[in-house]
Amino acid sequence: SKFGGRSHYNGNQDSGTGLQLSALTTPTLLAYNGDFTVECWTYLTGDTEYSFNSIISRTLTGDRPSPVSSSLEIGIYNISGMFRPWCNVYNTSTGGFAPGGNLPISINTWNHIALCRNNNVLRLWVNGALSVTSGTITGTVSIPSATVQIGMTQNRHSFRGYIDDVRVIHGLGLYTAPFAPTAPFPNS
């Protein structure tokens, strides 16, 4: 584990090996009209059947990573043998944003992944370096009534490896410049 606790995911697509946070789900968890941060540490040990390892999602579709209405997903996509971060955010004003990041993700090592919205700009970070940024994304992130899932998306795209220290912050896009992620997240 990265900081003393973690969850293991075996990447089995049919077993639904992710963690569903139905008990913790609120109408606004991962659905927000202001600044936010979603971040965690990942340790990818291999690819999955569908070349997409879901880290955290709240969506009604689980077939493939693509921009769909009412969704927020963060994961790692295998593009021609190179693992890269990927996110799908759909909001009520400007529609979908589904970029693949340009920084590689190393397997068999811990990687910090963060998605932040600050002043209506989304930024996807890998190990403190900016991987991709959006244009202006205004409005509320549109999320369905589905539960938040860690390590899979609607019983598909199960993560293969370890996920540690998942954190969601409403009201603060924590990262706007390169940073050095080195410590566990504080409890406040």
For tokens 């940073």, the residue is 179
pLDDT digits (tens, 9 = 90+) for 50-59: 677 888 887 7
pLDDT of residue 123: 92
**Over the stretch 12-61, which tens digit does the pLDDT of each residue have?**
544 444 455 544 455 566 667 788 899 999 999 887 666 778 888 877 65
Q: Is the pTM of this model over 0.95?
A: no
CB atoms within 10 A of CB 173: 20
Across 68-94, average pLDDT = 78
Gap between the Cα atoms of 39 and 55, Å rounded = 10
When mean pLDDT is compared over 6-20, 85-99, 174-188, the highest value belongs to 174-188
HEC readout, the chain:
CCCCCCEEEECCCCCCCCEECCCCCCCCCCCCCCCEEEEEEEEECCCCCCCEEEEEEEECCCCCCCCCCCEEEEEEEEECCEEEEEEEEEECCCEEECCECCCCCCCCCEEEEEEEEECCEEEEEECCEEEEEEEECCCCECCCCCCCEECCECCECCCEEEEEEEEEEECCCCCCCCCCCCCCCCCC
Cα gap 170→77, rounded to integer Å? 26
Given a cut of 70, whether residue 110 has pLDDT beyond it is: yes
Residue 8's pLDDT band, with cuts at 50, 70 and 90, is: low
Average predicted confidence (pLDDT) for the chain:
76
Helix (H) or strand (E) holding 43: strand 36-44
Residue where the block lists tokens 């540690």: 164
pLDDT digits (tens, 9 = 90+) for 112-141: 999 998 988 889 999 999 998 887 777 777
What is the chain's length?
A: 188
d(CA 13, CA 55): 14
Cβ pair 55, 159 in contact under 8 A: yes
Q: What is the DSSP letter of 23?
A: T
